[in-house]
Amino acid sequence: MILKNSLIRKLHYLFSVPTDDVELIRAQFRAFARQIPLLYFILATNALAVMFTFAKFGHPWLSVYAPSALCGLCLLRGVAWWRIGRSQVPDDIAIRHMQRTNRLAFFIAVAFTAWGLSLYTYGEGDAYAKAQIVFFLALTMISCNFCLMHLRSAALNVTLVGVAPFSLFFFFADDGHFRAAAVNLALAAVGMIAILMIYYRDFAHLVASRRSLLEKQAETQRLSDENSRLANMDALSGLPNRRALMTRLDQCSRGAGAPPTAVVYIDLDGFKDVNDTYGHSTGDRLIDIVAKELLRVLPEGAMLARVGGDEFAAVVSAADAERAARAFASGALTVLARPIRIGDRAVQIGASVGVCCTEADGCDAQELFRRADIAMYHVKANGKSGMRIYTPDLDLERQRQQDIEDQLRRALRADELDVVYQPIVGAAENRVVAVEALVRWPRRPEGELTPDQFVPVAERSGLINQLGLFVLRRACEDFLDVEAIKVAVNVSPAQFRDPDFERAVMRTLLETGFSSARLELEVTEGYLIDHPQRAAAVIAFLKTLGVAVALDDFGAGYTSIAYLRKYGFDRIKLDKSLVDRVTIEKSTGVLVAGAIHMANALDMAVTAEGVETEEQAYVLGLAGCQRLQGFLFGRPMPLGAFLAMAADASAPTAASAA
């Protein structure tokens, strides 16, 4: 039973049109549609030839009318297939056409075979005429078989329906005169079936190979497109990358008729601190959030790209490109000034934004991008968190800054820098108890620069770490044996951002042998407000070493009592802006006295800097200030001059001498 069912399934598969392979169906239909009109032409031509021979024999219905009807049917079907072959046919319609032809092949084969055998039997033709019928049937079957090879089921129908009756009939007809022809046709039919099966198998394999090739080509193209996409996309933010931006910028700025193009260059302020404090996963999440925020304010038709670790750029190409670029820059500054929530914490960053437009002189893509970068750099160098439109004078300033940076690198190698020391006196002892170490650049071949000219350059370029450690090491070495004097060293916010800063201080103390109890590091409050977690961690570590930490420039910013208590400073330094008014404004005097009492209550000592008059020194001392620093007691001086001045430790200061 199972064998019988399997045989039935195989026979059904052989004699039906396959519908499970769409590609094979399409290939069959294309080849079949080109050959089927030829099949009907062969049938009609052969039938007309036999009709012409038998027109004078037998009954007209058998020799003329029947073949004429068959020829008419062939012509109609041939024309129909000719039209079908010239049109685009959907897959489902193609299947229906082939299924219909498969059924018609059986009936047409039966009709022509029946007509030929009837004509042989009743047509009253002579031996020549009868031999022509044998030739007609054999030739027609062979021709039809080859024309139907792409539709295996139809070819099998025609072969079996035509050959079986033909071979049996002529094997016994006319005392076996055509027995050889019958056997020959039967053998030919077997050969044709074998050829048909092999051809159809090879045809199906060819279609499958072609499909596989097309799939591989499609996959290759997909991979190529994906590689191209990845090569032009930033994986973290999902935005286009620098390469894609430059391609777009080059397209926008090319051609005389191109609309004005603007570039907006955005550098995140404080991103490195977020990365260092909370880790790279938080930094990555921040980049993703920033990208989405910037896309929300991006002008329509503009392109936003991530061009660096914490840098973004937008290309705006429109008739009002500069206005749209300004609006986008303002929007970016607004959204990035707000606290950004990441998980259970809120981080605060900002942005420095540079804008440049081609309207001025039609510069090329690279130059436009460079100018926007220059404008951004100018914002970065002048306080950050703002926007600047490019102007030609920015190039001169940038070049000057670059020259200073290059010269500073040379200075750190070539011993062009010095450290000078400003005395700090004890208000009660009325003598020098400490010094503040300050850097100078006296041996610069191009001429001496003041610290406010080269220190900001060092901070922006990353040289501040090397410069700060140079000052720290030199001060420790210079005062190693002057045990009565403590040393204060300024710490730049950029140094605090360095994750290796605390360990660098510890190494310096170990290598120089300087006592940590004699070292005081001064930090400004701006870094504390922007990066409280990192600042707290650094201060706590330094205090475990025994190093004192002072809050510099107190009164110039917004430090609250909560900040003072949180960080546990050892000392605060009153800013010069308060000291200058302490004797001329009653309110300032009250404020300073209150600040001193508050600090003392929190167990913090107080140093007043910028003291220039005896009256200021008297008032500050009276208010409870422990240390005084300023020109009244001495300007910053080389080590030799300071040691000479402090040789007599009991010598009265200028203030007491008066």
The pLDDT tens digits for 602-644 are 889 999 999 999 999 999 999 899 999 999 999 999 999 999 8
The Cα–Cα gap between 392 and 161 comes to 93
Tokens of 182: 């019958």
CATH 3.30.70.270 fits 242-391, yes or no: yes
The domain limits of the chain are 11-214, 242-391, 412-657
Would you state the pLDDT for residue 354?
A: 94
Token look-up 């103390």 returns 509
Residue type, 476: C
**Distance from C-alpha of 571 to C-alpha of 170, rounded to nearest angstrom:** 126
- d(Cα 556, Cα 568) in Å, to the nearest integer? 19
The per-residue b/e assignment along 24-40, b for 16 or more CB within 10 angstroms, e otherwise, is bbebbbeebbebbbebb
Yes or no: say if 164 and 52 are a contact pair by the CB < 8 Å rule: no
pLDDT(222) > 60: yes
pLDDT tens readout for residues 480-504: 999 889 999 999 887 887 888 999 9
pLDDT at 225 over 80: no
Phi and psi at 349, nearest 5°, equal -130, -175
Q: 412-657 domain in CATH 3.20.20.450? A: yes
Structure tokens at 471: 């000052």
Quote the pLDDT of residue 201: 75
| Mean pLDDT of all residues in 90-116 | 76
Query: For the CA atoms of 355, 359, 361, 367, what is the dihedral angle to 10 degrees?
Result: 40
Helices and strands counted in the chain (H then E): 26, 15
Using pLDDT thresholds of 50, 70 and 90, give the confidence band for residue 400: confident
Determine phi and psi for 345, rounding to 5 degrees.
-130, 155
DSSP sequence for 399-431: HHHHHHHHHHHHHHHHT--EEEEEEEEETTT-S
Question: Can you tell me the distance from the alpha carbon of 333 to that of 35, in angstroms, rounded to the nearest whole number?
Answer: 72
Is the pLDDT confidence value at 1 over 60?
Answer: no
Structure tokens that stand for 391 in this block: 């102007």
- The answer to whether 91 touches 25, Cβ cutoff 8 Å, is yes
What is d(CA 223, CA 69) in angstroms, rounded to the nearest whole number? 59
> CA quadruple 587, 590, 593, 599: dihedral positive or negative?
negative
Q: At what angle do helices 393-414 and 451-461 cross, to 10 degrees?
A: 90
Which residue is associated with the tokens 């084969």?
Answer: 109
Tell me the C-alpha distance between 351 and 379, whole Å.
9
Q: What is the pLDDT of residue 96?
A: 79
Mean pLDDT of 76-97: 78
Name the residue among 565, 551, 550, 557 with its Cα closest to residue 598: 565
The token pair that represents 403 in the structure block: 């020259």
Q: Average of pLDDT values for 463-468?
A: 92
Helix (H) or strand (E) holding 554: strand 548-554
CA-wise closest residue to 639 among 441, 415, 438, 411: 438
Tens digits of residue pLDDT in 163-183: 777 777 777 777 667 777 777
If one compares 113 and 14, the residue with the highest pLDDT of the two is 113
Q: Which residue has the higher pLDDT, 97 or 516?
A: 516
pTM as predicted: 0.56
Amino acid symbol at 334 = T
